[in-house]
Amino acid sequence: MSHPTHLRSQFPNGFRFGAATSSYQIEGHQFGGAGRTHWDDFAAGPGNVVRAEHGGQACDHYNRYEEDLDLVKDAGFDAYRFSVSWARVLPEGRGTPNPEGLDFYDRLTDAMLERGLDPWVTLYHWELPSALADLGGWRNRDIAMWLADFAEVIMGRIGDRMHAIAPINEPWCVAWLSHYLGLHAPGLRDIRATARAMHHVCLAHGTTTQALRAMGLSNLGGVFNLEWSHPADDTDDAREAAALYDDIYNNFFLGGVFKGAYPERIVQGLGAHLPGGWENDFDTITTPLDWCGLNYYTCSRIAPAPETPWPHLRAEEGPLPKTQMGWEIYPDGLKQFLLRTAQEFTGDLPLFITENGMANADVVTNGTVDDQARISFVQAYLNAVQDAIAEGVPVNGYFLWSLMDNFEWAVGYEKRFGAVHVDFETQKRTPKASWHWLKSGLSE
């Protein structure tokens, strides 16, 4: 263990520590009558996912959730952030619910409460039912109502026991990564699809928030992924490129939800492709929230690339130490984002780090996993959170991504983000050194 720091005592009373996961990444989608999702379809396409891996078995959490929640509790976490699979609850995306899916989330919720864990649920963490992808998925404006309807079905069953609810995980990934870069399902590289997805994600967030409020549910938030954008060099062109990247990645979604406006540069670049009447949707998109979640992992070095299509940008390799994902380790970005988010977007609204963590090439040796790199990583980012709190930012909690190694989307099972190692052949769980470090740091 690297040092005896007691984490909990470094933070204000009431600061919450949690572990985060998502349904498709851990549950085992083949179990329990779930419908097909666009991730199953994407994984079945050539070269989309490393070794064509998919979430069919994943961590078999569907059958092992009690053991997994014991690991959350025993590490000393206060909260568990999970997501509900739309296609497990509504195999066709709409229509008749799957009773096994509803029963599963009911059991899971009670299992959290039995262990004294606060349930933090996300409704959409990326596995769109294939039947809705067939109808255009995020390109179709109707997705706002489809998501709100799904929210009513699943929250009608477990909403009474949720501590906090967010409609959508990481709008940038849902829209840009998946429709412009083509790196996540549905794997499009289409500017028009991207513009529509960007706006419809915001609209679906607001529409679903309103539906949840109408059900009498509270503690509703939004979860945004942010990436610090450095100019690749000290030129005006690089600074302008980095500012544009910052607008696409960070300011578009926060701006839409908290200011009722998209950045002017994006409106200029995407305007022709945004869906008609988008300007009239901000009353819905800005529906007030009770908290804001930030997922933060890394920074980018952005250079102009005039030879490429709009936004004419490219990312260059940076100099800092990197995680197994090749992502630079840059804790100061987290502090800066906390300050900036509060100053520019959220004011006094409680902020939470809803995801932070690292992939590491962890191996089990004599029954232990010595992931000192993860311990240093988490400590450095928690220091950044403390610095932001010291400067007056209302940060109320931190969730580690992730409880356990899982299906890391397009890069499959080899990128290990967990505090608990999973042997995907045997499904054996081995708590890593970081899990033990958290346990000693989080004990009351």
Nearer to ligand IFM, 177 or 211 (CB): 177
Shortest Å distance, C-beta 114 to ligand IFM: 26
**Rule CB under 6 A: is residue 355 a binding residue for ligand IFM?**
yes
Q: Please name the residue that has the structure tokens 């994943």.
A: 58
Q: Is 419 helix (H, G, I), strand (E, B) or coil?
A: coil
Q: 418: which residues sit within 8 A by CB, 6+ positions away?
A: 362, 402, 403, 404, 405, 406, 432
Shortest Å distance, C-beta 317 to ligand IFM: 19
**Rule CB under 6 A: is residue 53 a binding residue for ligand IFM?**
no
Q: What are the E-state strand segments in 103-256?
A: 118-124, 164-168, 221-231
Active site residue 92: no
**Rule CB under 6 A: is residue 354 a binding residue for ligand IFM?**
no
- Closest of 96, 82, 79, 101 to residue 34, by C-alpha: 101
**Which one is catalytic: 170, 227, 328, 408?**
170
**Whole-angstrom Cα distance, residue 265 to residue 262?**
9
What's the gap between Cα 54 and its chain centre? 18
Nearer to ligand IFM, 185 or 238 (CB): 185
Active site residue 444: no
Contact 59, 427 (CB under 8 A): yes
Nearer to ligand IFM, 355 or 371 (CB): 355
**Rule CB under 6 A: is residue 408 a binding residue for ligand IFM?**
yes
Nearer to ligand IFM, 86 or 282 (CB): 86
Contact 197, 175 (CB under 8 A): yes
Q: 406: which residues sit within 8 A by CB, 6+ positions away?
A: 21, 22, 25, 26, 58, 59, 413, 417, 418, 422
**Whole-angstrom Cα distance, residue 11 to residue 9?**
5
Per the rule left: phi > 0, alpha: psi between -120 and 50, beta: everything else, 146 is: alpha
**Rule CB under 6 A: is residue 23 a binding residue for ligand IFM?**
no
Q: Is 76 helix (H, G, I), strand (E, B) or coil?
A: coil
**Rule CB under 6 A: is residue 27 a binding residue for ligand IFM?**
no
Shortest Å distance, C-beta 420 to ligand IFM: 15
Nearer to ligand IFM, 58 or 102 (CB): 58
Shortest Å distance, C-beta 401 to ligand IFM: 5
Contact 436, 74 (CB under 8 A): no
The one among 401, 413, 435, 437 contacting ligand IFM by CB under 6 A:
401
Write out the binding residues for ligand IFM, residues 120-149 only, by CB under 6 A: none
**Whole-angstrom Cα distance, residue 417 to residue 438?**
15
Write out the binding residues for ligand IFM, residues 291-310 only, by CB under 6 A: 295
**Rule CB under 6 A: is residue 227 a binding residue for ligand IFM?**
no
Write out the binding residues for ligand IFM, residues 158-177 only, by CB under 6 A: 170
**Which one is catalytic: 27, 53, 227, 355?**
355
Shortest Å distance, C-beta 82 to ligand IFM: 12
Nearer to ligand IFM, 62 or 417 (CB): 417
Number of residues that bind ligand IFM (CB under 6 A): 8
**Whole-angstrom Cα distance, residue 367 to residue 432?**
9
**Rule CB under 6 A: is residue 22 a binding residue for ligand IFM?**
yes
Q: Which residues bind ligand IFM (CB under 6 A)?
A: 22, 25, 170, 295, 355, 401, 408, 417
Catalytic positions are: 170, 355
